[in-house]
């Protein structure tokens, strides 16, 4: 009988610990009540131009390739 009571208490403790670990903003128990200072908002990152995935999609690469394949007189190699 004692073993069953200890088992139930152990399961309850594990469940409470798992719930506390899964709730990120509730360390203090109440809404907004935690020991941590509020996080400052990060400034948005500047959006960079997405790079092409393959070299044959990159216009700069194609221009350079075209320049290399042309002869000095303008005719293709």
Give residue limits of the domains in the chain.
Answer: 1-73
* More confidently predicted of 7 and 64: 7
Return the C-alpha torsion angle 30, 36, 39, 40, nearest 10.
120
Does residue 20 register a pLDDT over 80?
Answer: yes
Model-wide pTM > 0.75: no
Measured on CA atoms in the order 36, 37, 41, 43, is the torsion positive or negative?
negative
Inter-residue contact 76 to 69 (CB < 8 Å):
yes
Arithmetic mean of pLDDT, 12-31: 76
């Amino acid at each position: 009988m004692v073993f069953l009571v200890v088992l139930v208490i152990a399961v309850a403790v594990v469940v409470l610990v798992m719930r506390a670990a899964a709730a990120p903003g509730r360390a203090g128990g109440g809404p907004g009540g935690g020991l941590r200072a509020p996080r400052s908002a990060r400034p948005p990152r500047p959006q960079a131009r997405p790079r092409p995935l393959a070299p044959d999609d990159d216009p700069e690469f194609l221009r350079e390739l075209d320049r290399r394949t042309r002869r000095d007189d303008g005719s293709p190699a």
